Amino acid sequence: MKRREFLGLLGGAALTTPRAMAQTQGRIYHLGTLTPVAPMTEDSPFGKIVVKALAQRGYTVGQNLTWDARGSMGEIAKIPAMLEELKSRGIDAIVVIGYPTALAAKPTGIPTIGATGLGDPVETRLIDSLAHPGGNITGISDVATTLTTKRLQLLKEMSPKLQKVAMLWNRDDLGMTLRYEASAKVAEALGITVQAVGVREPDDFNEAFTAMDGDMPDAILMVADSLTNLNRKRVFDFATARKLPAIYEFDFLVRDGGLMSYGPDLTESFERTAALVDRIFKGASPGDLPFEQPTRYPFVLNLKTAKATGLEIPPRLVALADEVIE
């Protein structure tokens, strides 16, 4: 074992010393989670990441930690009522996913941690600045422009003759609309024409597919939010049937059948979310905790989907991939 790795293990062990755990004894902490899709329970994939990271800091569900999960299953209008219910239950902090959820949480006064999907929180005026958010919210953010440049470059490597990309996003989500606009500017700078395919509800996907059939793009870039994620299978099927390369923002979409993704490592994002929860439990104000940026951005390829789509993946892309699904 290298000395650096050994020291890293010692640093991690410090999180679970008796002294650290003693700070959480004698009190029960109440954590809520709210998503615009299925509830993030302690047994869900992302919930397990948070539970494990909190356990390293001395919190155990069923002992000194309660976990109250809610999810609106795509019905954004239900989010305010769910927040009021969670507030009435006396939660100490809430972990949220998505810009609409974070925006609805802002006026409640509940200490809020945005784990992912918030878009650019400064541009949407969700916070004052990344360094000093203000109010009652902190979390994890990323830079759409930088990531889009990489995604379009990957599409170009997949399809060297790429001239037009269809960008699919939720028009009703300001965070995702700003992400789309930033992506469109990047594409224009790269000499790629953008076909804007905005949706607002599930029925709009049929119109989006019809529009693409009438003016076929060379590739698809899907901006992830609750609406597009809940309808991801329809996008996968359309791209496969039309033999179109498509890129997504998160690796779970590729594991679920998408072709490829480039974006933040969500395991890291939820581990760091747990660290922010711990700081808030120990008395920190969310508005004083800077928004953090991801440090890991995996590129994931699904060769099974490529084969079904009839696409040949260039060897260089396979070599670049952090994970290849076969």
DSSP-derived 3-state class of residue 213: helix
**pLDDT, position 119:** 85
pLDDT tens by residue, 185-234:
889 988 999 999 999 999 999 999 999 999 999 999 999 999 999 999 99
CB-CB contact of 323 with 261 (8 Å): no
Q: How far apart are the first and last CA of the chain?
A: 31
**pLDDT, position 169:** 94
Q: Is 240's pLDDT higher than 80?
A: yes
Closest by CA to 121, choosing from 112, 187, 229, is: 112
Domains of the chain: 29-142+266-288 (3.40.50.2300), 144-263+298-324 (3.40.50.2300)
Residue with tokens 């974006």: 263
Q: How confident is the model at residue 45 (pLDDT cuts 50, 70, 90)?
A: very high
What is the percent of the chain where pLDDT is above 70?
91
Q: Mean pLDDT, to the nearest integer, of 126-143?
A: 91
Q: Mean pLDDT, to the nearest integer, of 71-88?
A: 96
Q: Is 16's pLDDT higher than 80?
A: no
Q: Mean pLDDT, to the nearest integer, of 235-239?
A: 98
Q: Mean pLDDT, to the nearest integer, of 100-128?
A: 94
pLDDT tens by residue, 156-187:
999 999 999 999 999 999 888 888 888 898 89
Alpha helix segments (H runs only) across the chain:
3-13, 18-22, 45-55, 79-88, 99-105, 144-158, 174-189, 204-214, 226-230, 232-241, 251-255, 266-281, 303-309, 315-320
Cα(251)–Cα(100) distance, integer angstroms: 22
DSSP-derived 3-state class of residue 134: coil
**pLDDT, position 236:** 98
Q: Is 263's pLDDT higher than 60?
A: yes
Is the full-model pTM beyond 0.95? no
Cα(245)–Cα(320) distance, integer angstroms: 17
